Amino acid sequence: MAYSQKLEALKEAIYSIRRNQMSNLIRALSNWLGAEGAILFRVEGEKFEPVAEFGKTSKFSPCSTFSGEQGFLTSQEGLNFCWAKVPPESQFPTYIFAASFAEGYQPDEIALQVVLELLSVFLGSTKNEQNWEHVARAFRVATLGELAAGIAHEINNPLQAIIGNAELLLDTTQLDEGAKRKLEDILSAAEKIKEIARAMTHLADARRTEEKELLDFGKVVQEAAQLVAYALVRESVKVKIELSPTPQVWGRRGDLEEIVAQLVQNAGEAIAESGKGSQVTVRVRSEGEKVRLEVEDDGPGVPYDLRERIFDPFVTTKVTRGGTGLGLAIVQNLVTAHGGIIWLEDSPSGGAKFVVELPIWAVAKQ
């Protein structure tokens, strides 16, 4: 589906929530996912009562036992389905949302998480203002992702010509020092643009090729944080790791490592750039049906004028270090793709504290 069509589907979904139009909302969410059909069931015991549906859903037969909070199924006719509990954090499913897709097609995970958040809001299960902010950020990052890969591709084509010709001139032409410095400046600027394009491609890639697996979250955090800690030693920044036992999570190791690495690196660089503070503390613990990661520093904190936009793409506090402003947007993207949320808090030390909550892996009771 074209970007403009997906954007229209999002607008229709929001409009349907405001107008309390469930059928229209399910249709809009189906279009947003790129599905052939979608249905919402109300669950009472082992009874599944359809609340609203759109398109191809007749071959989906719900069952009363689900493993975890969401998954993928294939019917006997070969039709692919995704399903999820609504709200996802509830102990027992009150609603089940399912969508059908053409053979071989799977939905974007960020798009699916946005669907679940919107349905939770519509059904009155999500009233926390923080969750509303999370939905808004997820929308912004997801819609940017629709364009980012294409933009990066368009940037890279002429950029390669600039870099290639500049390098050729430097290698094969007798130049005076002034011309040589100008060509070197061109190459340096082109490499910066290339870095931004690479980050935009990463931002757009909500789903990795790496398969999800059951992971010891504490171990993943420890290994990623220690790796960054070695680099921050040069900045005289210490990384302290505090781990408590946690249940396993279902996720992509590389993505979770990147979440940790980005947050710890950002905190360390904020300390180094400002000259204030000396320590980043990384904590992991259980929080009900969630695992919680906290990355807290004693640095300068996030300026008040940036706090509302800190997860937006191209917003950066690392001006002197050439920050692209895509790091936290990528982190937001990855957290959302794992069904989690992220937010910013103040640290008692005056620094910043980023908090990530992810759902634990849980097998439904038989």
Q: Is residue 40 domain-shared with residue 118, that is, in the same domain?
A: yes
Instruction: Name which of 120, 109, 111, 108 is nearest 40 in CA terms.
Output: 120
Rounded Cα–Cα distance for residues 334 and 273 (Å): 26
Per-residue model confidence (pLDDT) at position 137: 53
Q: Is residue 339 domain-shared with residue 231, that is, in the same domain?
A: yes
Q: CB neighbours of 202 closer than 8 A, spacing ≥ 6?
A: 326, 330
Question: 32 by DSSP, 3-state: which?
Answer: helix
Rounded Cα–Cα distance for residues 190 and 188 (Å): 5
Spatial strand order of the sheet with 37-44 comes to 47-55, 37-44, 95-101, 80-86, 70-74
Q: Is residue 122 domain-shared with residue 67, that is, in the same domain?
A: yes
For the chain, the domain total comes to 3
Question: 55 by DSSP, 3-state: which?
Answer: strand
The domain boundary residue, chosen from 127, 160, 177? 127
Q: Is residue 267 domain-shared with residue 180, that is, in the same domain?
A: no
Please check whether residue 364 lies inside any domain of the structure.
no
Q: Is residue 97 domain-shared with residue 178, that is, in the same domain?
A: no
Q: Is residue 155 domain-shared with residue 100, that is, in the same domain?
A: no
Per-residue model confidence (pLDDT) at position 146: 53
User: Cβ(351)–Cβ(296) under 8 Å?
Assistant: yes
Q: What is the CATH number of the domain that holds 299?
A: 3.30.565.10
Rounded Cα–Cα distance for residues 341 and 337 (Å): 10
Following DSSP, what letter does each residue of 3-28 receive, concatenated?
HHHHHHHHHHHHHHHHTT-HHHHHHH
The domain boundary residue, chosen from 69, 97, 127? 127
Residue 217's domain comprises 213-359
Kindly calculate the radius of gyration of the chain based on its CA atoms and give it in whole angstroms.
Answer: 23
Per-residue model confidence (pLDDT) at position 217: 94
Cβ burial, residue 24 (10 Å; 0-12/13-18/19+) = middle
The domain boundary residue, chosen from 204, 221, 254? 204
Please check whether residue 337 lies inside any domain of the structure.
yes
Please check whether residue 318 lies inside any domain of the structure.
yes
User: Cβ(295)–Cβ(279) under 8 Å?
Assistant: no
- Within a 10 A sphere around the Cβ of 26, how many other Cβ atoms? 27
Please check whether residue 308 lies inside any domain of the structure.
yes
Per-residue model confidence (pLDDT) at position 70: 64
User: Cβ(33)–Cβ(169) under 8 Å?
Assistant: no
Instruction: For residue 5, give Cα distances in angstroms to 2, 32, 89, 99, 330.
Output: 5, 8, 30, 18, 24
Q: Is residue 278 domain-shared with residue 163, that is, in the same domain?
A: no
Q: Is residue 95 domain-shared with residue 169, that is, in the same domain?
A: no
Per-residue model confidence (pLDDT) at position 285: 94
Q: Is residue 234 domain-shared with residue 344, that is, in the same domain?
A: yes
Please check whether residue 270 lies inside any domain of the structure.
yes
Following DSSP, what letter does each residue of 132-162 receive, concatenated?
HHHHHHHHHHHHHHHHHHHHHHHHHHHHHHH
Per-residue model confidence (pLDDT) at position 281: 96
Q: Is residue 183 domain-shared with residue 229, that is, in the same domain?
A: no
Q: Is residue 154 domain-shared with residue 89, that is, in the same domain?
A: no
Please check whether residue 47 lies inside any domain of the structure.
yes
Tokens of 129: 């203002």
Please check whether residue 136 lies inside any domain of the structure.
no
Q: What is the CATH number of the domain that holds 121?
A: 3.30.450.40
Q: pLDDT digit of tens for each residue in the chain (366 aa)? A: 555 566 677 778 877 776 778 888 899 888 888 888 888 888 877 777 888 888 877 666 655 445 556 666 555 555 577 777 776 555 555 788 888 887 777 667 767 777 877 787 777 644 444 555 555 555 555 555 555 666 676 788 888 889 888 888 888 878 888 888 898 899 888 888 887 777 666 555 544 445 778 999 999 999 889 888 887 888 899 999 999 999 999 888 888 888 998 899 889 988 988 889 899 999 999 988 899 999 999 999 888 877 777 877 666 655 555 555 667 877 887 888 788 899 999 888 889 999 999 998 864 332
Cβ burial, residue 87 (10 Å; 0-12/13-18/19+) = buried
Q: Is residue 218 domain-shared with residue 312, that is, in the same domain?
A: yes
